[in-house]
């Protein structure tokens, strides 16, 4: 467990944000099952996972500097996370098409979930703001990337029973 927290600490590129939400979850709280559309347009369900740990990290927007660095850090350390029995899932307010572009552009090796309406954010007590749009040029083509909500960079680690054992916000 200690090694897992040490590895996770090196992976988290944190921005401290103070929550104004009253439903914010704490260490020891159990998280209900959740689902969302993933980067392939399929429904991803937390209830389908059988890993010892689940890292759920929220990030503001795909294809932006800090969010890309964070995603690539998880991508690059997948072997260590696998050895610890940890699965990773990333959550943002981006539309599915943004997530597909983000995943393909940076060869991300874990699911990206679209929380366009903020339902998963609300479940975890992560505060949200109104989304927005950015334009990015990818392989010579311009893409307008929309997101319904913007969440801060928060990370949760859940154990096999889906209780929060680590939280960074």
Active site residues: 67
Residue 60 near residue 154 (C-beta atoms within 8 A): no
Name which of 100, 86, 104, 77 is nearest 50 in CA terms.
86
Residue 71 near residue 59 (C-beta atoms within 8 A): yes
Phi first, then psi: give them for residue 45, nearest 5 degrees: -125, 130
| Neighbour-count burial of 69, counting CB atoms closer than 10 A to its CB (0-12 exposed, 13-18 middle, 19+ buried) | exposed
CB atoms within 10 A of CB 127: 20
């Amino acid at each position: 467990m200690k090694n897992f927290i040490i590895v996770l600490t090196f992976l988290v590129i944190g921005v401290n944000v103070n929550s104004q939400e009253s439903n914010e979850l704490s260490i020891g709280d159990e998280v209900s099952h959740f689902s969302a559309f993933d980067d392939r347009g399929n429904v991803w369900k937390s209830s389908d996972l059988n890993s010892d740990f689940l890292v759920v990290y929220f990030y503001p927007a795909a294809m932006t500097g800090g969010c890309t660095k964070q995603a690539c850090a998880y991508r690059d350390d997948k072997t260590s996370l696998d050895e610890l029995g940890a699965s990773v899932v990333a959550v943002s307010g981006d539309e599915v098409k943004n997530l597909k572009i983000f995943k393909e552009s940076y060869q991300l090796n874990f699911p990206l979930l679209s929380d366009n309406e903020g339902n998963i954010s609300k479940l975890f007590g992560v505060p949200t703001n109104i989304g927005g749009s950015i334009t990015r040029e990818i392989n010579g083509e311009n893409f307008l990337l929309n997101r319904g909500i913007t969440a801060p960079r928060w990370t949760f680690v859940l154990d096999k029973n889906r209780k929060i054992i680590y939280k960074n916000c």
